Amino acid sequence: MVIGEMDAAQVAAYFRGKNVLITGATGFLGKVLLEKILRIQPDVRKLFLLVRATDDESARRRVQTEVTGREIFQVLREKHGKGFEDFIEEKVCPLAGDVMYEDFGLDTAKLKEVSKDVDIIVNGAATTNFYERYDVSFDTNVLGAKQICAFANKCTKLKMLLHVSTAYVSGEQEGLILEKPFMMGGTLREGTHLDIESELNLIKHTQIELKANCATDKAERKTMKELGLKRARHFGWPNTYVFTKAMGEMLLGHLRGDLPVVIIRPSIITSLLKEPLPGWMEGVRTIDSVFLGYAKQALKFFLVDPNTIMDSGGHGGKLHDGGHAGALRGTSTDHLPCDIVHEQPGLLHDSPGDGPPLLRGQPAARGERRAHPAEQDALL
């Protein structure tokens, strides 16, 4: 079965009665996913949104102003009329938390309550700045993956952990690039070996040194940014973002045990394709400035290599054409525990049941569960 041809009703039906925990809901992709689930499957049970905030009340306010209060929820708002706020209140449960902390920083009672309910985790939280400080990127994109795994292991009825990665973990290679999982230690540069634990130690030592030298905030930021870029390039990745996302994938693959994990690797997601608002976009990042320049008729020309295929896509059709939700539905517990999907409408791959070209991670043997990350002192 081709994921892109998955029946829309089947995808929507999958969410009926499910509890979904979403990280990164205040971001671009997260709010689109949230809106779509609520619109196509109002019978979803609960959507837990992990949001960085001091407490649940602040998290709720953030969700109101930065997510459900945004234009993209207009269609849903009109559909529910006066009942919109009640509908959101009933379905959406904001939680103050941060993926870089153990149990996301949730207190024991909350952790217990959420972990017994969650059926699906969608991990979209990431530091997406290409040239972010190494420590900041590492905390969310690498340690975050570890904490997500640890949390997922506590969810007694978990059916799926969907991790949103990026197509650019493949770096700047040319030709046909298969969706191979990253193995621990793997790099994009021959002759190098990546030790994630050592990278964490390098960050810690650099922080200590900066402190000892009474570095200013500006100097610290500069050093940390340069360190990320230097390490990324040393191992063959073009920037800190994709390097840390690749390490996050490695950790997930290493720590998942028998968790049912799907990793999706979208390329550039620009704006909404069709619904609820065609052309809707948020912020101006990467290729967006070119589209805006064109729309405003300010872009006189744009040099391209006519032989190059540009891989960027609209969001929004994804729940129907087999994107996030398609990956979720297509990889239920009857499939192998780790699938990697390059998510772009023009580049559809076969589903796991049909074998290659969709490549899978190496499944851990059933019952051969690895040690719980929380039981380990070190990163691994």
Positions that interact with ligand NAP (CB under 6 A): 23-30, 50, 52, 98-100, 124-128, 140, 144, 164, 166, 245, 266, 268-269
Is 241 a residue of the active site?
A: yes
Supply the minimum distance, in Å, between the C-beta of residue 312 and ligand NAP.
Answer: 8
Question: Scanning the structure block, which residue is given the tokens 């509890």?
Answer: 19
CA distance 35 to 63: 12
Q: Sheet containing 92-96: which strands, arranged edge to edge?
A: 92-96, 46-51, 19-23, 120-123, 160-164, 261-264, 338-341
Are 4 and 345 contacting, i.e. CB atoms less than 8 angstroms apart? yes
Q: Residue 67 or 255: which CB sits closer to ligand NAP?
A: 67
Report cis status (omega within 30 of 0) of the bond before 94. Answer: no
CB neighbours of residue 53 within 10 Å: 19
Q: Find the helix packing angle between 240-255 and 217-234, rounded to 10°.
A: 70
Question: Scanning the structure block, which residue is given the tokens 């809707």?
Answer: 280
The residue annotated as part of the active site, out of 14, 134, 168, 241, is 241
CA distance 311 to 292: 18
Supply the minimum distance, in Å, between the C-beta of residue 24 and ligand NAP.
Answer: 4
Question: Scanning the structure block, which residue is given the tokens 């290679």?
Answer: 173
Are 299 and 293 contacting, i.e. CB atoms less than 8 angstroms apart? yes
Supply the minimum distance, in Å, between the C-beta of residue 263 and ligand NAP.
Answer: 11
CA distance 292 to 30: 22
Is 168 a residue of the active site?
A: no
DSSP 317: S
The residue annotated as part of the active site, out of 245, 296, 300, 318, is 245
Supply the minimum distance, in Å, between the C-beta of residue 315 and ligand NAP.
Answer: 8
Supply the minimum distance, in Å, between the C-beta of residue 92 and ligand NAP.
Answer: 14
Supply the minimum distance, in Å, between the C-beta of residue 66 and ligand NAP.
Answer: 7
Comparing CA positions, the residue from 152, 72, 151 lying closest to residue 105 is: 151
Q: What is the 3-state composition of the chain as percent helix, strand, coil, each rounded to the nearest 5?
A: 45, 10, 40
Supply the minimum distance, in Å, between the C-beta of residue 369 and ligand NAP.
Answer: 26
Residue whose CB is nearest to ligand NAP in the complex, by number: 27
Cβ within 8 Å of residue 30, ≥6 positions away? 22, 23, 24, 49, 67, 124
Active-site residue list: 241, 245
